[in-house]
Amino acid sequence: MILNRLMKSLTALFLVAGFGITASAEGESGDQMAKIMAMLEAQQAEIAELKAQLDEATGEDEGVTMTTNTPQGADAVGAGGSRWSPMSNKRKARAASWAERTSIGGYGELHSNHTNGKDGSTSDTDKTDFHRLVLFVGHEFNSWSRFASEIEFEHSWAGDGREGDVVVELAWLELDINANHHFRAGADILPVGIMNLTHEPTTFYGVERNMVEAEIIPSTWTEAGAGFWGQVAPGLNYNLFAHTGLKVPTSGSSAMRVRSGRQKVANGKNQDIAILGRLTYTAVPGLELAFTVDYQNDYTGTSDAIEASAYLIETHIDYKHSSGLGLRALYARWDFGKDSSQSFDPGLWGASEVEGWYVEPAYRFDLGGGIPGELGLFVRYEEFDERDGGSATGAIKKYVKHEMFSVGANWWPTPNIVFKIDGQFEDAPTSKNGTQTGVNLGLGFQF
C-alpha cells in the first residue's frame, strides 16, 4: 500500500514537473510558476514521508531511535505480535504476519532390524521400516496463546491390510497465565519419563526406543486433558494434568498389557479420569531429575463392571558432563488394583506390580581428522516385565522378567541428523516366547 502511494506521488511529481517545464517554455506567468513550485515541494515532502514509512516497514530506516519495551498494560492483552523486535529500528505493537506466527518442523526415522529369536521359540526379525515421520505445526495466536500439533505417519503405508497408521500425537492449546505458569488443554503427550516428551531420533541412543519406556510407561503416551505447568522456583518445575485414563484390556491376547490401554484420543470411549503430577529439577546445568506419579481411577475403563484403580510412579536422572560423558537411568512401576467384588485380580497375569528400569552410560566426542560431527558410544542395561505365555488361544500371558543388554553408536554428522547402529542381547530365563538378539541399523533427522 505504501508502495502504491509512493508510485502515485512520483507519477504526480513527474507530471507536475513536466507541466511546469512546458508552462515555462510557453512563457506562463510568475504566479502560475510559484503555484507549480509549491505543488512540487508538496509532492517531494509526501515522497520523503512515504519513503520513511517504507524504510520503517522493511527495517532499513536511517537514524530512527529504537523504542524500548514497556511493561504490558491491561490494554495490551490480546494485542497480537511481539511488542519489540530488533529486526527493524522502529516497530510498534502491530500484529506479525500469519507466516511469522506459524512454525513448521518435524522428524523421522528409518529402521532396519535383523534379530534372531532365541531357542527357536520366537521367529526371527528381518525387516526395514520407515518407522515414523512426524510433522509439527504450531501457531501463535498472540503473545500469550498458542497452538501446537504433531501428526505422525507410522510404517510408511496406511490402509486396509497395511502396517501403517496416521496418528495425532499431540494437538493442544496453551494460555500463559503469567511468565511462570501456563494452562494447557487438548491432546498432549504426558509428561512422564524421558522419551515420552523428548523422542526425536537425534536425542537418544539406540535405533529402537528402550523397552522400559515403550512397554511400561508406555511411550508414546497421548491423552486428552487439561492442566497447568510451570515453575515452582528457579530450576524446579511442575506439571499437573487431569486426563483421560487407560482402558487396559482384561481378556484376549493383550490382556493386562499397559500399552494396549492407550486409546490415543481416537473416539476413546468409556475412559475414566486420571491425574498426573510431576516435579522436575534442572537447576544444575546438564542435569535433569524428575519424579512423576499418575493415578488412574479405573484403568479398565467404565464400560465393564470392574472398578479398579492403579498408579504409576516414575523417576529418572539424565546427566551430561562437559567431558562428553553422559548417564541416563530410569525406574517405572505400575501398581494395579483388584476388584474383589468382580473377582478381578491382576495377579492372575502377574501384574499386581509391573516394573522396569534401565541404566545407560554414554560418551560423546568430536570426530577429528576431517570427519564432520560427533560420535557417541553407549551401553544400556534394562530389566523389565513383559507378558509371556505363548500364542495359543486363551493362553494367559503372565509377566516375566526380561533383561536386555544393548551396545552401539550414534554418529551425528550435523546436530539434526543421526546414523545409528546397535546390537541387542535379550535374555529371559523363564520366557516361553523367547527373546530377540541381533543388530539394528537406523537413520534419523529433525528440523
Partner 1 sequence: MDRRTFTRSIASFFASAGGMGFFSSQLSAREYLTVDQAQKILFGGEVLTQTRVKLTALQKKAIREASGIRVRRSYLAAWKASGGGWFLLDQVIGKHEYIDLAIALSSTGSIKGIEILNYRESYGGDVRHKRWRAQFTGFTHNKKIRIDREVMSITGATLSCRHIVEGMNRILHTWDIALRHV
Q: Contact with partner 1 (CB under 8 A): which of 47, 273, 396, 409? A: 273
As measured in angstroms, the least distance from the Cβ of 107 to partner 1 is 11
Among 160-168, 212-220, 236-244, 350-358, which window interacts with partner 1 (CB under 8 A)? 236-244
In angstroms, rounded to a whole number, what is the distance separating the alpha carbons of residues 390 and 384?
18
Using an 8 Å Cβ cutoff, are 171 and 186 in contact?
Answer: yes
Q: Which one among 32, 45, 95, 105 touches partner 1, defined by CB under 8 A?
A: 105
Window 333-372: residues binding partner 1 (CB under 8 A): 364
For residue 203, the minimal CB distance to partner 1 (Å) is: 6
- Quote the distance between the C-alpha of residue 314 and its chain's center: 20
Residue 420 touching partner 1 (CB under 8 A): no
Site residues for partner 1, 131-160, by CB under 8 A, read 136, 138, 140, 142-146, 148
Buried b (16+ CB within 10 A) or exposed e, 245-282: bbbbebeeeebbbbbbbbbbbeebeebbebbbebebbe
CA angle 49, 100, 191 (to 5 degrees): 150
Instruction: Name which of residues 287 to 306 contact partner 1 (CB under 8 A).
Output: 288, 297-298, 302
8's enclosing H/E stretch is helix 2-25
As a dihedral over the C-alpha atoms of residue 201, residue 223, residue 113, residue 428, rounded to 10 degrees, the angle is 120
Write each residue from 156 to 195 as x if it is in contact with partner 1 (CB under 8 A), else as -, in one continuous string.
------------------xxxxxx-x------------x-
Task: Work out which of 156, 203, 254, 342 binds partner 1, going by CB under 8 A.
Answer: 203
Question: Which residues share a beta bridge with 107?
Answer: 134, 446
Min dist CB 10 to partner 1, Å, is: 26
Q: Grid coordinates representing 334?
A: 505400575
Give the residue carrying C-alpha cell 560423546: 364
**Residue 229 C-beta-side C-alpha neighbours within 13 Å:** 18
Q: Which is nearer to partner 1, 267 or 322 (CB)?
A: 322
Choose between 16 and 148: whose C-beta lies nearer to partner 1: 148
- Binding map of partner 1 across residues 367-406, x = CB under 8 A, - = no contact: ----------------------------------------
Closer of 13 and 327 to partner 1 (Cβ)? 327
Q: Which is nearer to partner 1, 117 or 373 (CB)?
A: 373
Query: Is residue 38 within 8 Å of 47, Cβ to Cβ?
Result: no
Q: Which of 112, 156, 282, 437 binds partner 1 (CB under 8 A)?
A: 282
Distance of CA 354 to the CA centre of its chain: 27
Please tell me whether residue 235 binds partner 1 under the rule CB under 8 A.
yes
